[in-house]
Amino acid sequence: MCLRSRFRFVTAAVVAFLTAAGTRPGWAQKADTTTLPRVLIITTGGTIAGVQPKPGTLGDYRAGALGAKELLAAVPVISDYARIETEAFAAVASTMITPAQWIALARRIDDALRAQPDLAGVVVTHGTDRLEETAFFLYLTVRSEKPVVVVGAQRPATGISPDGPINLLAAVRTAASPRSVGKGVMVVMDDRLISAREARKYYPRAGGFDGGEMGMLGVMSASGPEYFFAPVRRRGPASEFDPTALTTLPDVDLVFAYPGGTGRQYDTLPAGVVVSSTGFTCAETGSYQHLARSGVVVVTAFPSGEHVAAQRVRRDSVGASAGGGGRESCPDLVSSGLYTAPWVPSVAVQHLTPQKARILLMLALTKTRDPREVQRYFDTY
């Protein structure tokens, strides 16, 4: 018997066996979608919805050009895992996302999860440049234990080997899974399930998102999301930050300390400032001491987001961040009264990048201007 005849014989035998057993071949079965979990996909634009002038190239593209219908068409198998509903929130590159849109997006997600008890979870498609910031804001403000997953892509939808379709499928499967309840807002990229508190974009290509030393909660496997860790910081229903009570966010600046730096000067003082710093020059120390005495809440964060326990503000006193030299090193500043000690009265960050520290400070300042109480928020969230 020739190879082709053997193949036909085996195929016919398999079909006959399945028919006799009262079943149909798997490729002929139609899934019962009525029992699948419901997932809401909210689109905001970004590379995942990007289109190139010349598809299939490595060239430029326009972010946010595709809608949810086109994104889902690239992943037809997604309907095997969830009943999908979609909603367009924005169609922009993520660099255009504003704090006002953070508030509006958090409200919309919070409302949807509260008003629809049978909704399993929410997926937000987003550009990667500001994805980690939006995800962290949602982590702090969406007051539900149901999964909220933020997902993006590093290659446009029309590019060579786009990563958007597989990322979107993983995000939907994560949002639809009961295993994801209570894990907080997550970023799902490249089969990694990453806590939004720790998710970072390390480099702008596929595989560029990671959770650092403590942010990866699990992985996407063939059987669905597999979790090995869970976040313990305050979030979800326990959050003190209610998006429905927010109308705007306080003005908080983000600056860097650097060799030869003199600190930041303002015509109009912000409510707070986050300084990315490994230590201050004498001039920087004097500048931020002056801001702190003027009522500006100063937060110091290590550039890599590492936790520096020695910088923590004590509840019974104003703490200190690492400064430059001592008083003897800064005689001009001491004589002018701009320098009072080799430290800056500041709130210290516990393992957050400066960008995320700014977001938490913005929310904390909607509650208090007391640095000791602000420190409590940084110790808790």
Q: Is 47 a catalytic residue?
A: yes
Active-site option among 43, 47, 285, 300: 47
Gap between the Cα atoms of 79 and 88, Å rounded: 19
Gap between the Cα atoms of 175 and 193, Å rounded: 11
Contacts of 238 (CB under 8 A, 6+ apart): none
Of 214, 209, 215, the closest CA to residue 191 belongs to 209
- Asked if residue 231 lies in contact with residue 380, where contact means CB atoms within 8 angstroms, the answer is no
Gap between the Cα atoms of 337 and 331, Å rounded: 10
The conformational region for residue 190 under phi > 0 = left, psi -120 to 50 = alpha, else beta, is: left
For tokens 């503000």, what's the residue? 313
For 152-184, b where at least 16 C-beta lie within 10 A, e where not — what string? Answer: bbbbbbbbeebbbbbbbbbbbbbbbbeebeebb
Active site members: 47
